[in-house]
Amino acid sequence: MDILQSIILGAVEGLTEFLPVSSTGHLILTSELMGIKQDSFHKTFEIIIQLGSILSVIFVFKDKIIPNNRESITLWKKLIVAFIPTGILGFLFYKHIKALFAPETVAFMLIFGGIIFIALEYFYKEERVKINNTNEISYKQAFFIGLFQSISMIPGTSRSGATIVGGLLLGFNRRVATEFSFLLAVPTMFMATAYDVYKNYEQFNFDNTLILIVGFLSAFTFAFFAIKTFLTFVAKFNFIPFGVYRILIGVIFLYYLY
């Protein structure tokens, strides 16, 4: 992997991690297209750029995430409740989940998720919205969002996509569903990254530190602007464009594979 490839993969991670389009699927496809070998260094690189994305969320939502008042502490409790289903299932089925990381699985889940988004928007009605602020989310609703998030352990599903769909079904407005999805990424991605490090530390390769740093900075920068832009987008538009995009990428993915 060279510097340019590092920047490109960091950008792909940053742009897609928080959009409902599956960052895993895009990283796999991009790596395949650039002919990057899936070795121990690549595994290290993916973990490092994920940390860049996590840091961007903390920067954007620092006023809510830093536990300096009662509201932020309550929010953290809800995020922990929402993380529980994914944490338990991820721990119990780690090997089985990793076995699903195949290009075909990613492609089919991209298409399936795209259909779900389009169908959901067809039935979604603004007048049925009950939650217009993250502070209004109950612990029970947070737990249900966590159940939806656990579905995203299937590669190609999209963590943000699954949690946003869950939020919309529970009566959140689009911005709240999206914002809570971003906030939930902090404990989820941090713990997933930490567990990956624990399970694969012997395979880690830090031979080219510059490439890791460049990828980290690229992911952080692109994720920061992606979050800001996406929040503005969902306040004005629906998720149908993302559904269409997922289907197109999934079809292209399958065409490339076969």
Q: Identify the pLDDT of residue 30.
A: 84
The full DSSP string for 1-27 is --HHHHHHHHHHHHHHTTTTT-HHHHH
**pLDDT of 69:** 75
Is the distance from CB of 57 to CB of 186 less than 8 angstroms? yes
Residue 170 backbone phi and psi in degrees, to 5? -85, 0
Alpha helices for 100-173 (secondary structure H): 103-123, 139-151, 159-169
Could you please report the per-residue DSSP string of 41-104?
A: HHHHHHHHHHHHHHHHHHHHTHHHHS--SHHHHHHHHHHHHHHHHHHHHHHHTHHHHHHT--HH
pLDDT value of position 201: 66
Q: pLDDT tens track of the chain, all 258 residues?
A: 788 999 999 999 998 888 888 787 788 778 878 888 777 677 778 878 888 888 898 888 888 877 677 788 888 999 999 999 988 887 787 677 766 667 788 888 899 989 998 988 888 776 677 888 888 899 999 999 999 998 888 888 888 889 998 998 888 888 899 899 989 988 888 887 777 777 666 656 666 778 888 999 999 999 999 998 988 888 777 888 989 999 998 898 888 777
The token pair at 103 is 């290009």
pTM: 0.83
- Structurally, the chain folds into a number of domains equal to 1
Transcribe 200-251 into DSSP letters.
Answer: HGGG---S-HHHHHHHHHHHHHHHHHHHHHHHHHHHHS-SHHHHHHHHHHHH
Range of the domain at 131: 3-62+70-257
Sign for the CA dihedral angle at 206, 210, 211, 214 comes to positive
Distance CA 18, CA 93 (A): 24
pLDDT at 78: 92
Task: Give the integer Cα–Cα distance in Å for 143 and 140.
Answer: 5
